[in-house]
Amino acid sequence: MTMALFIAGVGYVDCDQTLAVTLLTISWAVGGLKQVGPIVSALDMSPQHAGNYCLFTSKYVICVR
């Protein structure tokens, strides 16, 4: 949701390229942090099963999309 707000904000920027690039950069940074967080915490909690976890979660993401 936060990413969408920043991207929507770019549409309302008149001719200020610096502000538009800043909003897009913040949007991508927020999106990256949001997607990486659950993966990193799950891998840290169970390092023995990290390979299986990555295998099943990547298969799930590919099938759902």
**Domain range summary for the chain, segments of one domain joined by +:** 2-64
Instruction: Say how far apart CA 32 and CA 28 lie, in whole Å.
Output: 6
Instruction: Say how far apart CA 12 and CA 21 lie, in whole Å.
Output: 13
Residue of higher predicted confidence among 65 and 27: 27
Give yes or no for residue 63 having a pLDDT over 60. Answer: no
Contact by Cβ (8 Å): 34, 44:
no
Q: Which pLDDT value is given to residue 25?
A: 92
Q: How many residues does the chain have?
A: 65
Instruction: Say how far apart CA 4 and CA 27 lie, in whole Å.
Output: 8
Q: Which pLDDT value is given to residue 21?
A: 94
Global pTM value? 0.54
Tens-digit pLDDT profile for residues 4-62: 888 899 999 988 899 999 999 999 888 776 666 566 666 666 677 777 777 777 665 55
